[in-house]
């Protein structure tokens, strides 16, 4: 066997090693992405639990409001309930902003993002009743633009 044959075998072995390394790295990246998404979902669940714990009246009221008779029900809320509902809503908007950012980074599928948009739509009436202007919240500009477009498309 001459040196040219040995060199050719070395080149083939090197190319194979590169391909195997790339396949391994692709798998590792995919596994890392899955772990990141799992952490995001867990963080989302933890944040929702904390929020409900911090604003029990706001959470209860927001989940129990009958939007078919919203104006009557909203008028029956005490000042404390309105304050907690407002705090809960601000917390929700910050969490939705975070989810929107993660969606734009490719961590969530389109069907999940539909839930975010639905939450924005549902919050519009409460935001309006409480006088919460999305422009004054500490949210990203891209999220504020999204909220405005959803509000505008649903007759805010």
**What pLDDT, in 10s, does the model give residues 63-122?**
666 667 777 778 888 888 888 888 888 888 888 888 888 888 888 888 888 888 988 888
Residue 141 lies in a domain: yes
Q: Are 37 and 29 in contact (CB under 8 A)?
A: no
**147 assigned to some structural domain:** yes
138 three-state secondary structure: coil
Task: Answer yes or no: are the C-beta atoms of 147 and 120 closer than 8 Å.
Answer: yes
Per the structure block, which two tokens stand in for 75?
């008028």
In a domain, 79, yes or no: yes
Is 89:130 a contact under the CB 8 Å cutoff? Answer: yes
- For residue 156, pLDDT over 60 is answered with no
What 3-state class would DSSP assign to 155? Answer: coil
In a domain, 14, yes or no: no
Domain that holds residue 89: 55-153
How many separate domains does the chain show? 1
Tell me how crowded residue 85 is: count the other CB atoms within 10 A of its CB.
23
Q: What is the mean pLDDT of the chain?
A: 83
Q: Which pLDDT score, from 0 to 100, does residue 149 have?
A: 92
């Amino acid at each position: 066997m001459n040196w040219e044959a040995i060199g050719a075998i070395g080149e083939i072995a090197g190319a194979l090693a590169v391909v195997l390394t790339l396949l391994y790295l692709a798998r590792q990246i995919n596994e890392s992405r899955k772990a990141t998404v799992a952490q995001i979902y867990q963080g989302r669940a933890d944040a929702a639990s904390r929020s409900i714990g911090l604003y029990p009246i706001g959470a209860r009221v927001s989940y129990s409001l009958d939007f078919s008779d919203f104006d009557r029900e909203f008028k029956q809320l005490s000042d404390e309930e309105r304050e907690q509902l407002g705090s809960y809503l601000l917390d929700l908007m910050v969490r939705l902003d975070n989810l929107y950012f993660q969606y734009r980074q490719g961590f969530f599928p389109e069907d999940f993002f539909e839930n975010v948009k639905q939450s924005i739509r549902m919050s519009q009436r409460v935001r309006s009743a409480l006088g919460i202007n999305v422009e004054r919240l500490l949210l990203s500009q891209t999220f504020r633009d999204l909220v405005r477009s959803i509000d505008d498309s649903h007759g805010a």
